[in-house]
Structure 1
Amino acid sequence: MAIALIAVMLMELLLLIFWAPFFFRTGIVLFNQRIAASPAKLARLSLSGLEQDLPTERWMSQAFHALPDGSVAFRESFAPYFAGRYFPLMRGQLVVDKRRREVRVIGRCSWFALAMTVMLLPIILIHPVAWPMLAFLLVFYMGYRIQLRGYAEVVEVVRARVRCELPRRFIDPRR
């Protein structure tokens, strides 16, 4: 069972590194935020360069990559980060839906976290002394809450771009 979990973790890591389009488009949705926009604003909307608009002082920085279908995938950057780490539980996708007149920010569940959670119950039922492994669920929940804040920041940056506003840190305070 441990070998299967390691294999899932390595496979997911490779799919994240190589920005596999099917990987970012499929999975269990944990975060789904819709931002309404008029057709004119959607036509002017640019999702490039979002990394520069996001604050990076508190959490790991986000990396963005355009997918062939026109959506934008995002995940935590693999760049070295020394202020603290957490287990990333989601990978994201930005989808511009002109028919519904909205931009969707979607966060999908990590395969490793899902497999670990599903395997945890049978392990504890078979080996009751393994109950301390339930701490993994707490770690996953804390990582989810931290990552949820990061996804909310992505939503705010996209919402500001839809409204054609600059982020506050780009506005000159001397004016």
Structure 2
Amino acid sequence: MAIALIALLLIEVLLLLRWAPFFFGTGIVLFNQRIATSPDELSQLSLSGLEHDLPIDKWMRLVFHALPDGSVAFRESFAPHFGGRYFALMRGQLVVDKRRREVRVIGRCSWFALVLTVLVVPIILVRPMAWPMLVCPLIFYMGYHIQRKRYASVVEAVRARVRSEFPRGFVDPRR
């Protein structure tokens, strides 16, 4: 079982590094925030360079990557960092939905964290000496709490872009 968990972790890290579109687009949604916009705002919205709009804090920086379907994936950087660390539980995706006139910020659950959390109790029942593993769900909860705040900052950065790139009352000179 330990080998299967390690393999799952390695597969997940590989998919994160390769920016696999299906990986960022599937999974259990832990965070889903919708930002309503007008059609004019959507036509003017650019999500490139969004990492520069985020506040600089003590945590690993978030990196963004455009996916082939037009959405933008984001995750924590794997670059060396000497600030705070937490177990990354989510990967994110920004989806522009022109039909619903909204931008969605989605945070999906890590496969490894989900599987390990589900298996903690059965592992402890089979091997009582593994009781220290009960700290894993607590560590995951703390990481989720930190990451939820960080994803909220992505939502605020997207909201700021929506508001600032096409201010109300602005007439597009190209019309």
Q: CA deviation at 1:97?
A: 0.3
Q: CA deviation at 1:81?
A: 0.8
* Matching of residues 134-153 of structure 1 within 5 Å: 134-153=134-153
TM-score, length-scaled by structure 1:
0.92
CA distance, structure 1, for counterparts of residue 4 and residue 146 of structure 2: 27
Q: CA deviation at 1:131?
A: 2.0
CA distance, structure 1, for counterparts of residue 58 and residue 101 of structure 2: 32
After superposition, give the CA deviation of every residue in 1:104-124 in whole Å (9 maximum; x if it has no partner): 000000011011111112111
Matched to 1:51, the amino acid is: E
Matched to 2:26, the amino acid is: T
CA distance, structure 2, for counterparts of residue 123 and residue 77 of structure 1: 32
CA distance, structure 2, for counterparts of residue 84 and residue 39 of structure 1: 40
Match of 2:93 in 1: 93
How many residues are paired up?
A: 165
TM-score, length-scaled by structure 2:
0.92
CA distance, structure 1, for counterparts of residue 78 and residue 37 of structure 2: 32
* Matching of residues 95-114 of structure 1 within 5 Å: 95-114=95-114
Q: CA deviation at 1:130?
A: 2.1
Identity of aligned residues (%): 75
CA distance, structure 2, for counterparts of residue 100 and residue 22 of structure 1: 22
Q: CA deviation at 1:57?
A: 2.3
Structure 2, unaligned stretches of length 5 or more? Answer: 166-175
Determine whether 1:120 maps to 2:120. yes
Q: Which runs of 4+ in 1 moved over 6 A?
A: none
- Report if the CA contact (8 A) 2:58-2:84 is conserved: no
Q: CA deviation at 1:59?
A: 1.8
CA distance, structure 2, for counterparts of residue 127 and residue 96 of structure 1: 47
Match of 1:64 in 2: 64
